[in-house]
């Protein structure tokens, strides 16, 4: 009985669940933010396999307020279920050169204003990380020039300073394989041109593997900039240029119906033991996010993927680090 419901974390690492959850109901698949009962069941299920925080999208803030009356009340409810906080907010902006996209400097004022609005309106949840895609979709940015990468760096330096100094929140860049800053060289330039005090990396293992970047090497190179992880796996490297194919690479690529899988999937390409070895060697400590978006594609489901990832942490990765 002793392992039942115990937290996954140990002395150095604690675990958060990056939320893409959906619930199957008599009305089809719906968001768990549609009722207190569904949200409560979600909290209990992820806490039941040892996660201690959630990460979610900023467009869920309104629903949390509706459900609980305030974000403080929402966090109190989470804590009563063993979920300490909303560790990270993923900033969901559909980039568009007319008003909001990082490589277009004319849009920076608006983007900075919206980011600050999210900082103000998310108080009470215990947010520590503000996760952003640092550039637009690749086909909207290309050709990816140094000047465009510099423009992105300027924006996130500005926003990162605001979130950290104003709200104590770290701005973490999350490089989707289909975004404008994706290759090893683009990543090197971006982190060279951003301020290490204000701009951090949320290292998403699957996204980097799909983009042809070794996430373990990236961690070693940028370990002092890594403020968070999205640990998930993949079965595929994008060798066909899907990242630049319109209208969409993430779910509509003709070569690949599903890019993302949970840790522990058979045949996964991410070398998680090597990553944990590097984390141990460098003494990395903090919250680790576990993610598996689109887990239901092809007949999977979110609870099962979440539990399989938890098993992998407990039985494969914790013995390496923590």
Nearer to other proteins, 44 or 246 (CB): 246
Please tell me whether residue 150 binds other proteins under the rule CB under 8 A. Answer: no
Of 230-289, which residues contact other proteins (CB under 8 A)?
Answer: 246-248, 250-252, 257
Say whether residue 70 binds other proteins (CB under 8 A).
no
Q: Which one of residues 22, 105, 161, 314 is an interface residue with other proteins (CB under 8 A)?
A: 22
Taking CB under 8 A as the criterion, the residue among 35, 157, 183, 301 binding other proteins is 35
Of 92 and 316, nearer to other proteins (C-beta) is 92
Handedness of CA 178, 181, 187, 188 (dihedral sign): positive
Cα–Cα distance measured from residue 25 to residue 307, given in angstroms and rounded to the nearest whole number: 20
Q: Are 118 and 76 contacting, i.e. CB atoms less than 8 angstroms apart?
A: no
User: What is the smallest separation between the CB atom of 162 and other proteins, expressed in angstroms?
Assistant: 23
Nearest CB to other proteins, comparing residues 221 and 256 = 256
| Contacting residue, 3, 11, 26, 120, with other proteins by CB under 8 A | 26
Structure-block tokens of residue 164: 């950290």
- Smallest distance from other proteins to CB 132, Å: 17
Three-state SS sequence of 248-304? CCCCCCCCCCCCEECCCCCCCCCCHHHHHHHHHHCCCCEEEEECCCCCCHHHCCHHH
The nearest distance, CB 197 to other proteins, in angstroms, is: 33
Q: How many CA atoms lie within 13 A of 162 on its CB side?
A: 18
**Considering only residues 38-57, where is the footprint of other proteins by CB under 8 A?**
38
Count of residues interacting with other proteins (CB under 8 A): 28
Answer for the pair 156, 204: CB distance below 8 angstroms, yes or no: no
Helical residues (DSSP H) of 70-180, grouped into ranges: 71-80, 108-121, 138-141, 146-161, 167
Q: What is the dihedral of CA 251, 252, 253, 256, to 10 degrees?
A: 50
Q: Which is nearer to other proteins, 72 or 96 (CB)?
A: 96
| 90-98, 124-132, 268-276, 282-290 -> range binding other proteins (CB under 8 A) | 90-98
Question: Following CA atoms 305, 242, 186, 95 in sequence, which dihedral angle do they give, to the nearest 10 degrees?
Answer: -80
What's the closest the beta carbon of residue 27 comes to other proteins, in angstroms? 5
Q: DSSP characters for 70-100?
A: SHHHHHHHHHHTT---EEEEE-----BTTTB
Q: Which of 29, 80, 255, 285 binds other proteins (CB under 8 A)?
A: 29
Residue (22 or 318) nearer to other proteins, CB: 22
Question: Does 98 contact other proteins by CB under 8 A?
Answer: yes
**Binding site residues, other proteins, CB under 8 A:** 22, 24-31, 33-35, 37-38, 63, 66, 94, 96, 98-99, 246-248, 250-252, 257, 294
């Amino acid at each position: 009985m002793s392992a039942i419901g115990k937290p996954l974390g140990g002395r150095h690492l604690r675990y958060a669940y990056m939320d893409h959850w959906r619930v199957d109901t008599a009305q089809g698949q719906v968001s768990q933010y549609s009722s207190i009962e569904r949200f409560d069941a979600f909290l209990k299920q992820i806490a039941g396999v040892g996660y201690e925080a959630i990460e979610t999208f900023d467009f869920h803030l309104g629903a949390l307020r509706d459900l609980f009356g305030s974000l403080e009340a929402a966090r109190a409810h989470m804590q009563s279920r063993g979920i300490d906080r909303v560790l990270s907010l993923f900033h969901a902006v559909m980039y568009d050169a007319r008003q909001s996209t990082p490589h277009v400097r004319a849009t920076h004022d608006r983007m900075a204003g919206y980011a600050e609005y999210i900082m103000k309106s998310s108080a009470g949840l215990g947010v520590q990380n503000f996760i952003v895609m640092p550039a637009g979709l690749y086909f909207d940015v290309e050709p990816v020039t140094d000047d465009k990468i510099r423009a992105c760096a300027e924006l996130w330096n500005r926003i990162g300073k605001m979130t950290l100094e104003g709200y104590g929140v770290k701005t973490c860049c999350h490089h989707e394989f289909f975004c404008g800053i994706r290759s090893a060289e683009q990543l090197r330039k971006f982190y060279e041109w951003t301020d290490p005090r204000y701009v951090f990396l949320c290292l998403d293992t699957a996204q980097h593997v799909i983009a042809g970047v070794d996430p373990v090497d990236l961690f070693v190179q940028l370990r002092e900039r890594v403020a968070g992880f999205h640990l998930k796996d993949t079965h595929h490297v994008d060798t066909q240029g899907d990242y630049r194919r319109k209208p969409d690479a993430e779910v509509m690529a003709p070569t690949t119906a599903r890019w993302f899988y949970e840790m522990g999937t058979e045949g996964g390409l991410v070398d998680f033991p090597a990553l944990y070895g590097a984390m141990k060697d460098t003494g990395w400590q903090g919250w680790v996010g576990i993610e598996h978006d689109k887990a239901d594609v092809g007949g999977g489901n979110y609870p099962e993927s979440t539990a399989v990832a938890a098993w992998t942490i407990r039985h494969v990765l914790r013995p390496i680090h923590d």
